């Protein structure tokens, strides 16, 4: 039949990253695209043991529908973990367990913004946030970044400009620590400045922190949430990068009014997040497995980051790149004349893949950029893949 579709998804494009995943499986292809955690980090045996115990002890509730706001046991464990790990003191009533933090991005966009409203994002920003904005017909004004994270002076200028036009953005979305895609981390002065600006303009802040636990160098910085004296920050966390993404378990910390609205919306999204996964996450925290697992993940990813940085230093000309202290990605800027989307065909011919930077801009993309994932490939493949990428760039440069 000829379907007549709503306008709701007219702005949503298929993610270039998802489209790229198909290349991962081609033989000989080395892919720095995708954003997958390395399966070596999954605590499979521990999860197997936990599952056995859950089924023996709590099958009747772990296989049942759960509460919309999440498993109370898990929330209590998270409260302890967040206090210890992030110095965040949270009442479990101000917490919502989510189906990955991706669900929170969608829900918070819907909760805070009407169609055609504006929000603030970093440029570049997480592609899943761009999808959530597009799915809700919400527009973004982008703030520039450098090695020290979001340029808060630029934020202030843009808010001033918007105010003069009578526009008040509905929230400021930031990934301050080991940003996806750029790998940048916002320094302490800028964190404080960002909060001052948000207080002045009375705009909520959404702090997305999926990578904060994965630090390989440098000193830990306080989260915006822990610095927030005025309860303006909504904080998103996830088990995806510290346990396993397939369990789709995340959490949101916010004010009771926000959590209440989220609860109402979530009833229409999925009633509640997966009970079994929440029990697994609960036991994972309670048994302290997270404190053994994260250091192992850090060791593996640090080695891979170092290999990629060394390979870039040794092979790459005509480009600059970020040197992330943690997370899973680094950001490459090529000669201004190179469009990394156009270059991708040549890269695929040379059997290496990346994500083109344009995918991470709400508008006005810097086309000479790309994101490289350093956590997934084998060590030797990282070295070989960077050589192939350098060769690709050199071939491309001959056109200019």
Residue ranges that bind ligand PLP, judged by CB under 6 A: 35, 100-102, 126, 128, 175, 180, 208, 210, 238, 240, 245, 250
CA distances from 102 to 97, 121, 132, 330, 367 (A): 12, 16, 9, 21, 26
Between 100 and 365, CB nearer to ligand PLP: 100
Q: Which two tokens stand for residue 285?
A: 């925290």
Between 180 and 369, CB nearer to ligand PLP: 180
Cα torsion 72, 73, 74, 79: sign: positive
Q: Which two tokens stand for residue 355?
A: 């994500």
Shortest distance in whole angstroms from residue 252 CB to ligand PLP: 11
Between 128 and 365, CB nearer to ligand PLP: 128
Between 175 and 203, CB nearer to ligand PLP: 175
Between 174 and 358, CB nearer to ligand PLP: 174
Count the residues in the chain.
400
Residues 6+ apart with CB under 8 A from 204: 112, 170, 171, 172, 198, 232, 233, 234
In three-state secondary structure terms, 20 is: helix
Q: Do residues 133 and 292 lie in contact, with contact meaning Cβ atoms separated by under 8 Å?
A: no
Shortest distance in whole angstroms from residue 4 CB to ligand PLP: 31
Between 17 and 198, CB nearer to ligand PLP: 17
Shortest distance in whole angstroms from residue 78 CB to ligand PLP: 14
Shortest distance in whole angstroms from residue 2 CB to ligand PLP: 35
Shortest distance in whole angstroms from residue 116 CB to ligand PLP: 24
Shortest distance in whole angstroms from residue 390 CB to ligand PLP: 26
- Listed residue (149, 124, 39, 142) closest to 377, CA to CA: 39
Helix segments in 63-201, DSSP class H: 72-86, 100-112, 127-135, 152-164, 188-201
Q: Do residues 138 and 130 lie in contact, with contact meaning Cβ atoms separated by under 8 Å?
A: no
């Amino acid at each position: 039949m000829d379907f007549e579709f709503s306008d709701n998804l007219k702005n949503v494009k298929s993610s270039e990253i998802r489209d790229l995943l198909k290349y991962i499986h081609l033989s000989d292809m080395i892919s720095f695209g995708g954003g997958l955690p390395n399966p070596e980090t999954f605590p499979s045996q521990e999860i197997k043991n936990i599952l056995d115990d859950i089924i023996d002890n709590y099958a009747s509730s772990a296989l049942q529908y759960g509460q919309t706001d999440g498993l109370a046991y898990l929330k209590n464990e998270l409260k302890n973990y967040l206090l210890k790990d992030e110095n965040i003191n949270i009442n479990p009533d101000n917490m919502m367990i989510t189906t990955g933090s991706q669900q929170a991005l969608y829900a918070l966009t819907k909760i805070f913004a009407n169609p055609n409203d504006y929000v603030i994002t970093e440029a570049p920003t997480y592609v899943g946030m761009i999808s959530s904005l597009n799915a809700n017909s919400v527009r973004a004004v982008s703030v520039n970044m450098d090695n020290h994270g979001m340029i808060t002076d630029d934020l202030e200028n843009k808010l001033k400009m918007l105010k003069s036009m009578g526009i008040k953005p509905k929230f400021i979305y930031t990934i301050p620590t080991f940003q996806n895609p750029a790998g940048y981390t916002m320094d302490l002065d800028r964190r404080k400045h960002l909060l001052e600006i948000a207080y002045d303009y009375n705009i909520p802040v959404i702090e997305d922190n999926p990578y904060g636990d994965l630090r390989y160098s440098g000193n830990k910085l306080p989260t915006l949430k822990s610095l927030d004296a005025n309860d303006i920050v909504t904080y998103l966390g996830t088990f995806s990068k510290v346990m396993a993404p397939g369990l789709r378990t995340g959490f949101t910390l916010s004010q009771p009014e926000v959590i209440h609205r989220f609860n109402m919306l979530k009833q229409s999204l999925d009633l509640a997040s997966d009970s079994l996964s929440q029990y697994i996450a609960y036991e994972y925290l309670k048994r302290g497995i997270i404190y053994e697992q994260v250091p192992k993940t850090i060791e593996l990813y640090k080695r891979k980051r170092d290999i990629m940085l060394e390979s870039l230093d040794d092979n790459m000309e005509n480009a600059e790149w970020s040197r992330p202290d943690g997370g899973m990605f680094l950001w490459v800027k090529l000669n201004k004349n190179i469009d990394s989307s156009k270059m991708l065909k040549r890269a695929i011919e040379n059997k290496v893949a990346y994500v083109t930077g344009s995918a991470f801009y709400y508008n006005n993309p810097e086309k000479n950029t790309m994101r490289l994932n350093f956590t997934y490939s084998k060590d030797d493949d990282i070295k070989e893949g960077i050589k192939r990428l350098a060769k690709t760039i050199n071939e491309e440069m001959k056109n200019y």
